[in-house]
Chain A
Amino acid sequence: MAEETIYRLQQVVRAYGTDFRLHIHDLYIGKGESVGIVGHNGSGKSTLLRILAFLDRVDEGEIIFSGSSDREITMLLQHPYLFKRTVFENVAFGLKVRQKREMVKDRVRDSLALMGLRPAQFMHRRWLELSGGEAQRVALAARLVINPEVLILDEPTANVDQHSAALIKNAILQYRKKYNTTLVMTSHDIIWLNSVSDRVMRMHNGRIIGRGTDNLLHGPWEDEGEGLWRRVLPDGQYIHAVHPPHSDAFGVLNSSNIMLSTGRPDHISAQNVLGGQLLSMSSEHSGDRVRVEVHAGGLLFSCSVTHHAADTLKLLPGKDVWILFKASSIVWY
């Protein structure tokens, strides 16, 4: 990794009873890097974030944090808590405990303004005089004002109105551009997460299983003989796979291993050819590729193609397309 590392996690294990076990084999996060995490509820995203924020201990393994102090890490909880004080006191709290006494008022004002809260109107409001979205924005302003080295955000837009969500997204994007803060965040909004993250990881059952743009393929798989298995999709099409470990295994299909065709291809070696419809297209954060979502066989496939390919194929939402991938390109977990 070219840049300096701020977090290194190796063989980190955290278990809650017998039901949940987080197991991170190896994770590096670079200084100033922005990392997104996607995954279903209960996949271990929040636990990982709490461990990174040193709010939770680990049972096994090693975490090396090479920032200046754990005080420089701040986290916005999924359901943030505001102190029973005024908005000003809430936002200024982090500055006060750090003994930063200069220009407190100005800093609080700037931070509130960044979150779309007019300082004159909100500074002296009490904690109970705010809507859910306003409270979330005040909570985020309280984190941004301390200008942390690491900012951890757990679903910052999950429980707020659309207006607040848009303001929060925009503020994080602006903040990231301005200060090169290391960001680690989870969100259900994958398109936004892509736009603010250098990379997106996907978590499942307490493990990191590749990138967020990868496709997860669940069983049940039926044995067809000769090492080939298949899964019947709701519309009667099949996915063929090679040697799943068991019939309920889930596999990961990298989005760039999927090819697209606008006509039904014949005589090709790939085992999987699925007809579907193109749902949406967006430019990837890295800039040189286009993310294409295809609805095929009742599943949503995320594919990554070059701009050139998108132009040549004249891809547009609503268009009928075929997706192709090798049976052997599915990686098992």
Chain B
Amino acid sequence: MDYIAQGFMQAVKLLVSGDPETYSAVFTTVKVSSLSIAASLALGIPVGFFLGYCRFTGERQLRAVFDTLLALPTVVVGLFIYALISRRGPLGRYGLLFTIPGIAVAQTVLVLPIVISLTATAIENIDERFRNTVSTLGARGWQLVTASLVESRHAMLAAVVTAYGRAISEVGISMMIGGNIKWHTRTITTAIALETGKGQFSMGIALGIILLLLAFLVNALLIFLRRRI
């Protein structure tokens, strides 16, 4: 059982000593998940808003599709995107395989349903008097859209937290698309998988603790924001 306690010790040591390999994995993780969150918000908020705000035929079926995609397995996304961006695939010429943008693209696919679904729910859950109120106060067109998003900002923040959590914790995509290349596409999760395979449990635990710390920091930042806005 020693290796568990050793893991904690090692985590502190790695962080304090500024171990370059560890920090490389940390930065890669942050970079990849930030890219994928930015892309999924840019794509997912408009779609989610449309789904939550407008009533049209087939809307419920479409919502059901996105809700199902919330449970999308990472390896399935990995496989699908691998097929698309590998040399023989239709997007092969962009050379995305085993690169950070490649992982980010696949992670975007993974978290997009989360952003869409939670945005739609956030917009849908706005008090029904809200619409009457904004329109009788004179808001028109885009003003209605921005006022609705501002009004549901707390629920939107929850969507960001959930999506970020999913992105930094996944391993399937990073492994398949990134290839776990040291100094390059190795993320914290792929590093943990590697260390565990090598039997280096304490190193794996140390990296796990760092990952948790990172998740905590992101959450703390968002909780702070939530209080302020």
Which residues of A are at the interface with B, using a C-beta cutoff of 8 A?
53, 55, 71, 73-75, 77, 79-81, 83-85, 93-94, 97-98, 142-143, 146
Give B146 Cβ to nearest chain A Cβ, in Å. 10
Q: What A residues does B138 contact at CB under 8 A?
A: 71, 74, 94, 97-98, 146
CA distance A93 to B150 in the complex (A): 12
Q: Which of B32-40, B87-95, B128-136, B171-179 contacts A (4 or more CB under 8 A)?
A: B128-136
Q: Is the CB of B132 within 8 A of A83?
A: no
Q: Is the CB of A97 within 8 A of B130?
A: no
Please give me the residue from chain B that is nearest to A146 by CB atom.
B138
Please give me the residue from chain B that is nearest to A94 by CB atom.
B137
Q: What B residues does A94 contact at CB under 8 A?
A: 137-138
Q: What B residues does A98 contact at CB under 8 A?
A: 138
Q: Is the CB of A97 within 8 A of B137?
A: yes
| B125-161 interface with A by 8 A CB criterion | 127, 129-130, 132-140, 143, 147, 150-151, 153-154
Give A49 Cβ to nearest chain B Cβ, in Å. 11
Q: What A residues does B153 contact at CB under 8 A?
A: 84
CA distance A226 to B136 in the complex (A): 55
| B94-139 interface with A by 8 A CB criterion | 127, 129-130, 132-139
Q: Is the CB of A81 within 8 A of B136?
A: no
Please give me the residue from chain A that is nearest to B133 by CB atom.
A81
The listed residue (B130, B139, B143) touching A81 by CB distance below 8 A is: B130
Which residues of B are at the interface with A, using a C-beta cutoff of 8 A?
127, 129-130, 132-140, 143, 147, 150-151, 153-154
Please give me the residue from chain B that is nearest to A148 by CB atom.
B138
Give B93 Cβ to nearest chain A Cβ, in Å. 47
Q: Is the CB of B139 within 8 A of A97?
A: yes
Interface residue SS majority, chain B: helix
Q: Is the CB of A83 within 8 A of B147?
A: yes
CA distance A142 to B137 in the complex (A): 8
* 9 A-B pairs (CB sep. < 8 Å): A71-B140, A77-B132, A81-B127, A83-B130, A83-B133, A83-B151, A84-B154, A93-B147, A146-B138
Q: Is the CB of B147 within 8 A of A55?
A: no
Q: What B residues does A53 contact at CB under 8 A?
A: 136
Q: What A residues does B150 contact at CB under 8 A?
A: 83, 85
The listed residue (B127, B136, B151, B154) touching A55 by CB distance below 8 A is: B136
Pick the 3 closest A-B CB pairs, nearest first: A81-B129, A94-B137, A75-B136
The listed residue (A79, A84, A85, A146) touching B137 by CB distance below 8 A is: A146
Give B56 Cβ to nearest chain A Cβ, in Å. 18
Given A83-B147, A83-B151, A77 and B133 contact (CB-CB distance below 8 Å)? yes
The listed residue (A55, A71, A143, A146) touching B132 by CB distance below 8 A is: A55
Q: Is the CB of A97 within 8 A of B136?
A: no
Please give me the residue from chain B that is nearest to A81 by CB atom.
B129
Excluding A77-B133, A81-B130, 10 further A-B contacts by CB distance (< 8 Å) are A53-B136, A75-B136, A81-B127, A83-B133, A84-B151, A93-B134, A94-B138, A142-B137, A146-B137, A146-B138
CA distance A146 to B137 in the complex (A): 8
Q: Is the CB of B135 within 8 A of A55?
A: yes
Q: What A residues does B129 contact at CB under 8 A?
A: 77, 79-81
Give A219 Cβ to nearest chain B Cβ, in Å. 38
Q: What A residues does B134 contact at CB under 8 A?
A: 93
